[in-house]
Structure 1
């Protein structure tokens, strides 16, 4: 009988846990330095429904991708060696549950430090975590951003 009650207790716990919803809020940005063109190329991946909620536009409408680009531009700043760099958007696509945004910054000849301010979705989702992985001349650095830690800097 004791074993039976133990099994019932475990099953009840499993059933209760399966009904709890735990959303995970994150974005991921990959940064690659292209030596030939002296360009930093950025690829950002976000959850479609999360960015749709944040910018308050349906992802199936014609203006969605333009609004996503504008949103990222307003929530992502880049500084190389202490100097502000302009970000140029090169494209984006909605692929089911993910939105991919592509942008770049040219004229980057040598990097000592990269500083990024990344507030993507932090205003909409308190538990949002943004990761940025940077590849530069064989070195890999990772930054993370969340509420209260919107700016991060790495040295090469």
Structure 2
């Protein structure tokens, strides 16, 4: 009986631990190539409270979205075929626990290589993991970024 009580208490403890909340730090960026306009369109999704902590601004502050755009601009760089590209921000929105940031770069006629530096939230959260999914002329590629690996490159 003691053995049964001991095992059931361990089992109960393990079940209780499985319901413990662990913070998961990540961002996801989707990159779509628009052939007609020769544009790469980026959509980045982040956790609202994580970005708020990183930029040290309350999410309810009027300038929050402008600061998020500035932060992304300082922590996300794109190089097409080795040449740096300027990013133009086209919008952003806060939707509950998610912040969406939209930006693009034009004048992209053909991509043989795409290099991205993505250090979003990496300095604020050591376990941050950033994912970039790229869709280019029927090809799908995925890049992963984490502290110590802020730059990644794919070929098409």
Alignment TM-score > 0.5, same fold: yes
The CA deviation string for residues 41-96 of structure 1, in whole angstroms up to 9 with x for no partner, is 00000000000000000111110000000000000000000000000000000000
RMSD: 1.0
TM-score normalized by the length of structure 2: 0.96
Q: Distance in 1 between matches of 2:86 and 2:17?
A: 49
- Structure 1: gaps (5+ residues): none
- Which residue is equivalent to 2:111? 111
CA shift for structure 1 position 16 = 4.0
Secondary structure, aligned partner of 2:19 = helix
- Which residue is equivalent to 2:146? 146
- Which residue is equivalent to 2:19? 18
- Which residue is equivalent to 2:89? 89
CA shift for structure 1 position 8 = 2.2
Q: Distance in 1 between matches of 2:8 and 2:81?
A: 60
- Which residue is equivalent to 1:3? 4
Q: Distance in 1 between matches of 2:68 and 2:40?
A: 20
Secondary structure, aligned partner of 1:8 = helix
Q: Distance in 2 between matches of 1:146 and 1:46?
A: 15
- Structure 2: gaps (5+ residues): none
- Which residue is equivalent to 2:60? 60
Q: Distance in 1 between matches of 2:122 and 2:9?
A: 41
Secondary structure, aligned partner of 1:57 = coil
Q: Distance in 2 between matches of 1:16 and 1:35?
A: 49
CA shift for structure 1 position 7 = 1.6
